[in-house]
Amino acid sequence: MNEILEVLANDARLSPQEIAKLTGKKVAEVEREIKKYEKDGTIVKYKAVINQDMIREDKQLVRALIEVGITPQKDVGFDAIAERIYSFPEVASCYLVSGAYDLLVVVEGDSLQTVANFIASKLAPLEAVQRTTTHFLLKKYKEDGQVFKKNQQGKRLNISY
């Protein structure tokens, strides 16, 4: 991967001046390349990785990984059904994968029931969907290369005999 892209993938908050120092390139060159990558779609979005466990809210976001087995459609393969699935607002991510199922769909909702209702009323009834297996995320240790700070609350006491 290009040096500038590697730096941005690790920390998108860095300024072009900081990136130039890290890569040994001129600031104008860094700015020009970043603009080019944004325009051609190489850089799609800048985002923050949030440790949801650190947010003290009554409602926590519920996230589920759903394995989806589908029947590919003639002339379009998996693309048409994947587009239909990822168009739902509950779907955060959708991947074509190898293995025992075809798509891995990441769904978010404000409760287990919201996610369950999405699967039962929107996802499973789709004609091309053969089967689903749902895995609810219980704890996040690492995401996008970032290890999350351990939450000290709820720490277990050492017991010795």
Residue 132 lies in a domain: yes
Residue 29 covered by a domain: yes
| Residue 52 is assigned to a structural domain of this protein | no
Both 8 and 74 in a single domain? Answer: no
Phi, then psi, of 151 in degrees rounded to 5: -80, 120
pLDDT confidence of residue 43: 94
Q: What is the pLDDT of residue 61?
A: 83
33 and 71 in a single domain? The answer is no
Instruction: Compute the distance between CA of residue 18 and CA of residue 93 in angstroms, rounded to an integer.
Output: 31
Q: How many domains does the chain have?
A: 2
Report which secondary-structure segment, H or E, holds 68. Answer: strand 62-70
Query: How much is the pTM?
Result: 0.73
121, 107 Cβ separation under 8 angstroms: no
The residue segments making up the domain with residue 14 are: 3-40
Beta strands in 73-155 (DSSP E): 91-96, 103-109, 129-136, 142-143, 146-147
Identity of the residue numbered 44: V
The whole-angstrom separation of Cα 139 and Cα 150 is 11
Phi, psi of 7 (to 5 degrees): -65, -45
Helix (H, G, I), strand (E, B) or coil at 73: strand
Joined together, the tokens standing for residue 40 give 């051609």
According to the model, what pLDDT value does residue 76 have? 86
- pLDDT by residue for the chain (161 residues), tens only, comes to 799 999 998 889 999 999 999 999 999 999 999 999 999 999 998 988 777 767 766 667 899 999 999 999 888 889 999 999 999 999 999 999 999 999 999 999 999 999 999 999 999 999 999 999 999 998 888 887 888 876 555 556 667 76
Whether 151 is in a domain gets the answer no
Asked if 26 and 79 sit in the same domain, the reply is no
Q: Is residue 47 part of a domain?
A: no
Question: CATH code at 85?
Answer: 3.30.70.920
